[in-house]
Amino acid sequence: MTENKIDMAAMVVDDPVVEEVKVDISREETIVARVTERFPYLLGTLTIQRPGRIISNPLQREHFEEVLAYLISEQSFYTFHLVIGVDDGDDLGFIYAISNQDKIVFLLKERAPKADPRIRSLCDIFPNALWHERELVDLFGAVLEGLPPGPTYPLPDNWPAGNYPMRKEWNPAYFDNKTMTYNPPAPKNTEGGAE
């Protein structure tokens, strides 16, 4: 875990009062140890970035779901903060921030191919995931299985279908907000033209 120490040294503020406080990451280490014990394929992929932050590597859907279920039921990660959608080139990434009573935030990542970005909705477990997941649908074009029906959010009702503005290949310069159409120039000019 040398990598962790370097990271923590970077975050310690140059201040006499703070330096007296020993940086204690034993709770985080316990969680990481338990999770890796249960799921050996996670070995070496969990990073303790700094006190209160555990970050995983992107997982495939089936792995993600079992790790999440374990974290909720066995490690009492009851609080859902948000889900962050990211564009990883050919894949879409989803970063779920959940935390437990000790306020340790676990950034659990999921990955789904852009061609078929199908993931499970967490609305039944965390009711407050609703708006965040609607956002994934509108902005990234993710397909959330089990998301309750409802209005589009945050894009307007007359937004053209198939336009996912947070994907890297989508360029706002080509969008005409008068006619609500997306007119990319000839494919050779755009990076996302391959699709």
Interface residues toward other proteins, by CB under 8 A: 10-11, 13-15, 17-18, 21, 49-50, 52-53, 55, 78-82, 84-87, 95, 97, 103, 105, 107, 126-128, 130-132, 151-156, 165-166, 168, 170, 172
Q: To the nearest whole angstrom, how small is the minimum distance from the Cβ of residue 142 to other proteins?
A: 14
Would you say 8 or 38 has its CB closer to other proteins? 8
Residue 127 backbone phi and psi in degrees, to 5 = -60, -25
Tokens of 103: 């306020």
- Minimal distance, residue 62 CB to other proteins, in Å: 24
* Shortest reach from residue 101's CB to other proteins, in Å: 9
Whole-number Cα distances in Å, 95 to 25, 59, 83, 184: 22, 10, 5, 29
Alpha-helical (H) ranges within 41-129 are: 61-74
* Between 11 and 69, CB nearer to other proteins: 11
Query: Residue 85's closest CA among 170, 182, 190?
Result: 170
If the CB atoms of residues 35 and 56 are measured against other proteins, the closer one turns out to be 56
Instruction: State how beta strands 53-55 and 105-113 pair.
Output: parallel
**Nearest distance from C-beta of residue 184 to other proteins, angstroms:** 15
Closer of 1 and 82 to other proteins (Cβ): 82
Closest C-alpha among 172, 135, 141 to residue 153 = 135
